[in-house]
Amino acid sequence: MARKVSFSNQELQVHEIDVHYTICAAALRAYYIGTNSAFVGYTNNQLKTELHGRLEELNKSCSFLLLTVVEARLRIDYLKRCYEKRKDDLSRRFRKINKECGEKRERPDLSDDILDAWKQHGASAPLVSEIRGAWNYRNWLAHGRYWKPKLGRKYDYRGLFELTSAVERLIQNAP
């Protein structure tokens, strides 16, 4: 087995991200809707357009944070199962992946290794598919959004919040 990872215990919490999102969205609305001298000369349309753009950016940045939580939860679960040598089928599969990756001095791939194992041992195919699609969105966000993504659907904060919650439930309820 490769060297053990020292956990920082500083992972983001979903409820903290949600509070941040809610407060920032409310603050943006108050900023743009209130009497603000920064917007003298703006038409109502201009104000609405700018507010919409700021809210969209908040949506993307908080969505990215949620997707980092998904990755962290899945990777931490993977590593703990390997370290603790649990006896369930998923943990055994993870240890096999860990051994194979250790021999190649590679880190397991989230989609090809970890999610495939989950799909074979407990996660529903639709959930795994949804995580993979969201992972493509995460990659687009993480790498600067310089290409036109082929995502198959539109992602937003609320939908990704639900997906993150589903991943947390999956991990909590797994053997």
Residue 19's Cβ-side half-sphere holds a number of Cα atoms within 13 Å equal to 5
DSSP code, position 107: P
Place of tokens 């966000």: 141
Quote the pLDDT of residue 105: 78
- pTM (2 d.p.): 0.91
- Helix ranges restricted to H, 34-124: 44-84, 89-104, 116-120
Residue with tokens 């699609």: 133
Q: Which residues of the chain have pLDDT under 70?
A: 1-2
d(C-alpha 141, C-alpha 135), whole Å:
10
Q: Tens digit of pLDDT for each residue in 121-155?
A: 989 999 999 999 999 999 999 999 999 999 989 99
| Residues 88, 86: Cα–Cα separation, whole Å | 6
pLDDT at position 2 is: 54
